Amino acid sequence: MFKKLFFLLFLFSLTAAKAQESRSTLSGYLTDSKNGEALIGAKVVISSLNMAAVTNTYGFYSLTVPAGKYKVEFRSPMYPIDTKEIDLTKDVRFNYELGANYQEIQEVVVNAKKGENVNSTKMGQIELQIDQIKTLPAFMGEVDVIKAIQLLPGVSSISEGGQGFYVRGGGPDQNLVLLDEGVVYNAAHLFGFFSVFNSDAVKSVNLIKGGMPANYGGRMSSVLEVNMNEGNNKGFHIKGGIGAISSRFTIEGPLVKNRGSFVISGRRTYIDLIMKAAIPDTSPFAGSSYYFYDVNAKFNYKLSDKDRIFLSGYYGKDVFNFTDRDGGFGADMPWGNGIAALRWNHLFTNKLFMNVTGTFSDYMFKFGSKQDQFRFELASGVRDVGGKVDFSYFPNARHRIKWGADYIYHTFTPTSVSAEADSVVFNTGEAQKLFGHESAIYLMDEFDLNDKIRVNAGLRYSMYQHVGPFTRFIKGDISTPDTAIVYGKGDLLKFYHGLEPRLSFRWLISDQSSFKAGYSYNYQYVHLTSLSAVSLPTDIWFPTTDKAKPQKGWQGSVGYFRNFFNDKYEASVEVYYKGMKNLIEYKEGALPGDNVNDNTDNLLVFGTGRAYGIEFYFKKSVGKLTGWIGYTLAKTERTFPDLNEGKVFAAKYDRRHDLSIVGTYKLNERWTFSTAFIYATGNTLTLPTSWYIQEQNLLYNYGERNSTRMAPYHRLDISATLYSKPTKKHTDPVTNIEVDVKKKFRSNWAFSIYNVYNRANPFFLYVDNDGSFAAGDVKISVKQVSLFPIIPSVTWNFEF
């Protein structure tokens, strides 16, 4: 059935292409004249034909039209519309640098995206330019991509200090986070206060939270695609920022002018230096410290007009040390990601574009402690080596076809423990590693049935093989000894596979409004297991095994999109429903040490989930005042036969109401002000409902899972940015006329206040008890811990 569908779709595309006689193709790359970087999502429009093409991640476009001469418009978010008359009586390759004749770039003119939200088949998809993100209030002056997307409807953080983000009721593991196509397993620094994305190294951010196209897979909820800068191929530039707790430095320039470039960006916090100064050497806590650093690097080189290669890399690490000399205790906890991606673009014809990518991703977490003579170490991590190939084929203006394949070889180390006391090495079993082959093929076509109806149909077929070496522990009870089954290298334990249909549809009601609908079915072969109430680096990535089945989920959504006043205002309403299967949680009462000499999946239980909601989004993207209002009304639930007595319970990130209001006001060329207000229903949590006594110890019994809710979260942030004058006066020695010339060195001061009205937002609650019954002074109370009160900060940013 599906084979036939594939064949018919492909045949249809080819015949449609064949039928287009007397047609010519305009294709090429669009780049930014400032720095030679590819322009992503720029538009090439022939208004007289009502036809358009959009550049892909590499700036490539292809548009096939009836032969003739046309006025072609080139639109990008950075510049006004640029129009060229092009003779398309034959195929034309037209690489073009936008903005070459445009001097003043202070005002961001958002015109390439005009009407995009109404016209495209994209649902639940939002693109953010880093320039937009940089205008938002920043926590401690550190501009953050993840914090910015958490201001969008349908996206939320679990709390301050929580890692990751939650999209439409899905877990943090259900987001595919890609940095230049390399998978990021942990996108958080400092327990989620900062993300791993250095804003100086990032070019654009694309979030897909529904209607996932078939070229993406492996996660159920969303795709966050972060594209790094390519580096300026015109000249060398330096930029950086000095903030209260961290500083950044970036250098970029040409490898060979106009052919290749590089960018290297680094960032480091100096909390450890502050701690060193704060904690005297005589203190038992001397030596305790925390810091993180990360480095982004990217190189690209144009081999020929048809070939280009990119090499991207990221390496970042958090290091936490704690020392208590009085207690004879010491602990260190490093964690971090290493990511590399090598890509090759090749243009077979002016209609067929190929990208081949090789990726490497490594995430590790370690914990080591020493108490007197006892030493303990725990490590976990995941390493991926993979590759993918994607073809984009543009047979005519009505079809945009993509197909490809991808493959990842996973190596998971859920828990590796070692312990020793003096010379005695304890038996903690062999480090368990799990191996898996994940692969997929896909085909998709975005096509226009007529001027009103556009369809994006795709099919993805994904596979997962759990292979050896592997030891399956079978735990006996008191009377039955433990046993184990050992599988050799390459032995196939289990093969999972399935079809993932994707469909989205747009009906253009008018040029200012459209109705859209989407459906997607996803398999997910990795899981994130968490023992804690908040999300931490200690959460363990765990693959699909013979016992832990792949997560499966489907999402259906419909939406109405409407623009007003010549696209100055955009509005949308989207309704979604999501069903999820094979979700995992730890068994009641599982402890971290239970992983030792056992398979992690022996400690897991499996269940289902559902999420539904409605999202409202209103955005103003043009003018001095820009910003958006997003509101989500949603519910997400879980059902596990082995948890909560099988009864339905709210997911820990279930939020009924989620409101964000974001505004940026550009007063003049020097001052920009912005504000963000967030309101969200409090998170759920499980607290004890009763206490009892055993051997004079006061113990608790917990009630239904997540049956208690914290107070609502709300916060107002404001910021002001003072830019240095962009120009200086220069007197021409020949004409003696004074003119304004652009300054080479530019800087700005970013002032921000986080949590303006000092709201004590709940981070977590716990039940506390003090005193003893014998003394008659026992007191049980519920305590709320809040993290950040009002925090002013200032950062100085510069570039030249």
Per CB under 8 A, contacts with another protein among 568-597 are 586, 588-591, 593, 596-597
Q: How far is the CB of 540 from another protein (least distance, A)?
A: 13
Q: Which stretch binds another protein (CB under 8 A): 227-235, 422-430, 515-523, 607-615?
A: 422-430
Residue 637 engages another protein in binding (rule: CB under 8 A): no
* Alpha carbon 561 to chain centroid, angstroms: 24
CA distance 614 to 134: 28
Residue 426 engages another protein in binding (rule: CB under 8 A): yes
Strand pairing of 551-564 and 513-524? antiparallel
Closest to another protein by CB, 339 or 533: 533
Strand pairing of 352-371 and 329-349? antiparallel
* Cβ-based neighbours of 289, under 8 Å, separated by 6 or more: 271, 272, 275, 276, 319, 320, 321
Phi, psi of 642 (to 5 degrees): -100, 10
- C-beta separation of 72 from 92 below 8 A: no
Residue 786 engages another protein in binding (rule: CB under 8 A): yes
Q: How far is the CB of 272 from another protein (least distance, A)?
A: 10
- C-beta separation of 149 from 224 below 8 A: yes
- C-beta separation of 154 from 613 below 8 A: yes
Q: How far is the CB of 429 from another protein (least distance, A)?
A: 9
Q: How far is the CB of 691 from another protein (least distance, A)?
A: 6
Stretch (H or E) spanning 467: strand 453-467
Q: Which stretch binds another protein (CB under 8 A): 91-99, 461-469, 559-567, 685-693?
A: 685-693
- C-beta separation of 179 from 234 below 8 A: no
Closest to another protein by CB, 690 or 736: 690
Q: Which of 767, 792, 796, 799 forms a contact with another protein (CB under 8 A)?
A: 767
Binding to another protein, residues 699-738 (CB under 8 A): 699-704, 707-708, 711
Residue 687 engages another protein in binding (rule: CB under 8 A): yes
CA distance 341 to 716: 38
Tell me the two tokens of residue 672.
């920009």
Binding to another protein, residues 105-164 (CB under 8 A): none
Q: Which of 44, 347, 382, 536 forms a contact with another protein (CB under 8 A)?
A: 536
Closest to another protein by CB, 337 or 530: 530
For 790: left if phi > 0, alpha if psi spans -120 to 50, otherwise beta; the answer is beta
Binding to another protein, residues 41-70 (CB under 8 A): none
Strand pairing of 625-639 and 649-650? antiparallel
* Residue entry with tokens 């994607």: 390
Q: Which of 287, 469, 688, 726 forms a contact with another protein (CB under 8 A)?
A: 688
* Cβ-based neighbours of 294, under 8 Å, separated by 6 or more: 189, 196, 198, 266, 267, 314, 315, 316, 317
Q: How far is the CB of 653 from another protein (least distance, A)?
A: 15
Q: Which stretch binds another protein (CB under 8 A): 202-210, 224-232, 418-426, 607-615?
A: 418-426
Residue 765 pairs in a beta bridge with 784
Binding to another protein, residues 259-278 (CB under 8 A): 271, 273-275, 277-278
Q: Write the binding mask 367 to 386 for another protein: x where contact by CB under 8 A, - elsewhere.
A: -----xx-------------
Binding to another protein, residues 166-195 (CB under 8 A): none
Q: How far is the CB of 764 from another protein (least distance, A)?
A: 4
Q: How far is the CB of 278 from another protein (least distance, A)?
A: 4
Closest to another protein by CB, 288 or 462: 288
Q: How far is the CB of 774 from another protein (least distance, A)?
A: 5
Q: How far is the CB of 527 from another protein (least distance, A)?
A: 16
Q: Write the binding mask 6 to 25 for another protein: x where contact by CB under 8 A, - elsewhere.
A: --------------------
Q: How far is the CB of 333 from another protein (least distance, A)?
A: 12
Q: In 3-state terms, the chain is what percent helix, strand and coil (to 5)?
A: 10, 60, 35
Q: Which stretch binds another protein (CB under 8 A): 21-29, 98-106, 305-313, 686-694?
A: 686-694
Closest to another protein by CB, 173 or 448: 173
Among candidate residues 755, 757, 770, 763, the one with its CA nearest the CA of residue 784: 763
Q: Which of 19, 485, 780, 794 forms a contact with another protein (CB under 8 A)?
A: 780
Cα-based distances in Å from 299 to 311, 313, 341? 5, 9, 11
Q: Which of 255, 787, 792, 798 forms a contact with another protein (CB under 8 A)?
A: 787
Q: Which of 149, 177, 534, 676 forms a contact with another protein (CB under 8 A)?
A: 534
Tell me the two tokens of residue 488.
């050799």
- C-beta separation of 725 from 106 below 8 A: no
The dihedral built from the CA positions of residue 758, 759, 760 and 764, taken in this order, carries a sign that is: negative
Closest to another protein by CB, 196 or 536: 536
* Cβ-based neighbours of 22, under 8 Å, separated by 6 or more: 66, 67
Q: Which stretch binds another protein (CB under 8 A): 126-134, 257-265, 415-423, 431-439?
A: 415-423
Binding to another protein, residues 459-498 (CB under 8 A): 478, 481
Q: How far is the CB of 647 from another protein (least distance, A)?
A: 11
Closest to another protein by CB, 304 or 696: 696
Phi, psi of 133 (to 5 degrees): -65, -35
Q: How far is the CB of 286 from another protein (least distance, A)?
A: 13
CA distance 567 to 749: 32
Produce one character per residue of 72-96: b if its CB has 16 or more CB atoms within 10 Å, e if not. Answer: bbbbbbbbeebeeebebeeebebeb
Size, binding site for another protein by CB under 8 A:
82
CA distance 15 to 136: 49
- Helix (H) and strand (E) counts in the chain: 5, 53
Residue 365 pairs in a beta bridge with 335, 380
CA distance 796 to 794: 7
Q: How far is the CB of 665 from another protein (least distance, A)?
A: 29
- C-beta separation of 232 from 254 below 8 A: yes
* Cβ-based neighbours of 167, under 8 Å, separated by 6 or more: 154, 155, 174, 175, 209, 221, 222
Closest to another protein by CB, 280 or 733: 280
CA distance 515 to 509: 7
Binding to another protein, residues 285-344 (CB under 8 A): none
Closest to another protein by CB, 416 or 428: 428
Max Cα–Cα distance, the chain, nearest Å: 101
Closest to another protein by CB, 107 or 645: 645
Closest to another protein by CB, 346 or 714: 714
Binding to another protein, residues 197-256 (CB under 8 A): 244-245
Closest to another protein by CB, 729 or 783: 783
Closest to another protein by CB, 573 or 711: 711
Q: Which of 474, 769, 794, 800 forms a contact with another protein (CB under 8 A)?
A: 769
Closest to another protein by CB, 103 or 781: 781
Closest to another protein by CB, 612 or 653: 653
Closest to another protein by CB, 495 or 691: 691
